Amino acid sequence: MQWSDEALVLGVRRHGETGTILEAMTAEHGRHLGLVHGGRSRRMQPVLQCGNRVRVVWRSRLDESLGSYAVEPLELAAPRLIGSALALYGLSHMAALLRLLPERDPHLGLYEAAGVLIAHLADRSVAPPLMVRFELALLAELGFGLALHACAATGGNDQLVYVSPRTGRAVSASAGEPYRDRLLPLPPFLREPTGLVRAPLSEEVRGGFALTGHFLNQHIWQPRALPPSEERARFVALGLEAESRGS
């Protein structure tokens, strides 16, 4: 068995005296592990850093076995991001989210979204809202997507300002008014197209993280008995602090 693919490095762990087991998010083969012989060498250590984009060739006699990777660098993001605490917390949180995906299950859209996020993690005005959108995309890929573009009660798309905490569906201002204390706010920037046409305000981003955090906890962390991510909390705190200073 053999295949070649682009991949983002998620992490490594030691294997033997000189090797490492690489965990990578590949474009066409999903989250996939493999042994890198000599992965702890001086040449390979800078390549096998979280966030780097690489070309991998995976080989194995059997499809279900661990197999081995040959790795070549394509784009080394780690040196660019190493000086930013926001970026490092963002990388750790992004990798933790991608580890929630079933192994070897392709998710090309998430792979591409992760690449966009990595490219902007050092930009304090863009990284936080991009992370909110990435969390929404991950929820959708796991089968818990939010329906934010039409009112659950009326079917219309005007004045969508709430989200049902139970169903994840948007609710309009008029339909939600009697229940507003039980609904989650829908930040305005999440009603806009995916491409960021403006920099959202810090309170919008805060609301976005509250929204995604609620559903991550409801559908993923609690059912798997996982604690909320400390890296996420630190990323959010740093991102909102930076936004507040800039506003």
Q: Give the pLDDT score at 191.
A: 86
Residue 77 DSSP code: -
Q: Report pLDDT digits (tens) over 35-48.
A: 999 999 999 999 99
> Measured over all CA atoms, what is the biggest interatomic distance in the chain, rounded to whole angstroms?
65
Mapping DSSP onto H, E and C, the string for 87-135 reads HHHHHHHHHHHHCCCCECCCCHHHHHHHHHHHHHCCCCCCHHHHHHHHH
What is the average per-residue pLDDT within 63-67? 93
Q: Which superfamily does CATH assign the domain made up of 2-76 to?
A: Nucleic acid-binding proteins (2.40.50.140)
pLDDT at position 183 over 50: yes
Structure tokens, 35:
């042994």
The length of the chain is 247
Q: What's the pTM?
A: 0.93
What is the average per-residue pLDDT within 188-200? 74
User: Hey, which residues does 185 pair with through a beta bridge?
Assistant: 162
Triad 112, 117, 120: Cα angle to 5°: 130
- Edge-first strand order for the sheet with 170-172 is 170-172, 160-163, 184-185
Residue 114 CA to residue 26 CA, distance in Å, equals 11
Triad 98, 91, 43: Cα angle to 5°: 100
Count of beta carbons in the 10 Å neighbourhood of residue 81: 21
Q: Let me know: does 234 contact 89? Beta carbons within 8 Å.
A: yes
Mapping DSSP onto H, E and C, the string for 171-231 reads EEHHHHHHHHHHCEECCHHHHCCCCCCCCCCHHHHHHHHHHHHHHHHHHHHCCCCCCCCHH
Q: Give the pLDDT score at 247.
A: 44
Amino acid at 166: R
Domain residues of the chain, as ranges? 2-76, 81-148+186-246
Triad 195, 109, 172: Cα angle to 5°: 50
Q: Report pLDDT digits (tens) over 70-110.
A: 999 999 999 999 999 999 999 999 999 999 999 999 999 99
Q: Give the pLDDT score at 144.
A: 97
